[in-house]
């Protein structure tokens, strides 16, 4: 069994880039989303045991919620995955984080005012 490591590098302009490291063998991969294989996936050997992976994200795969993409080798073994989060799911998380920051800021303001009052 050959072990490979998938490392994400960036997501830019609808292209997800990653690096795969492992033994120096002939590697073939496929990427799927919701059980459907994606077209246009590019795998380029960059060094012995290293490959650059480019995955164009189709517009149909971008929607509210968490969208997970699975990278597999030719034998169907999962090498890794990546996800894109969009829409209300993300907005809810951001609102919760902002509420927490506001609460902490209010607590710090009260403590600072009390400190100033006690020092005077």
Single out the residue of 35, 80, 41 nearest to residue 57, CA to CA: 41
Contact 89, 64 (CB under 8 A): yes
Each residue's pLDDT tens digit, 21-33: 988 778 999 999 9
Largest CA distance in the chain: 74
Question: CA angle, corner 112, sides to 110 and 117, nearest 5?
Answer: 95
Each residue's pLDDT tens digit, 42-101: 999 999 999 999 999 999 999 888 899 999 998 888 999 999 988 776 667 777 778 778
**57 vs 66: CA distance, rounded Å:** 14
Two tokens, residue 77: 């073994």
Query: Structure pTM?
Result: 0.73
């Amino acid at each position: 069994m050959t072990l490979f490591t998938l490392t994400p590098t960036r997501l830019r302009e609808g292209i997800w880039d990653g690096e795969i490291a492992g033994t120096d063998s002939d590697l073939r991969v496929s990427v799927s989303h919701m059980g459907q294989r994606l077209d246009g996936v590019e795998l380029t050997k960059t060094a012995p045991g290293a490959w650059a992976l480019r995955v164009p994200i189709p517009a149909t795969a971008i929607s509210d919620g968490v969208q997970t993409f699975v990278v597999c080798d030719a034998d169907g073994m999962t090498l890794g995955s990546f996800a894109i989060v969009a829409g209300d799911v993300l907005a809810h998380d951001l609102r919760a984080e902002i509420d927490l920051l506001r609460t902490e800021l209010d607590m710090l303001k009260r403590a600072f005012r009390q400190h100033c009052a006690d020092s005077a």
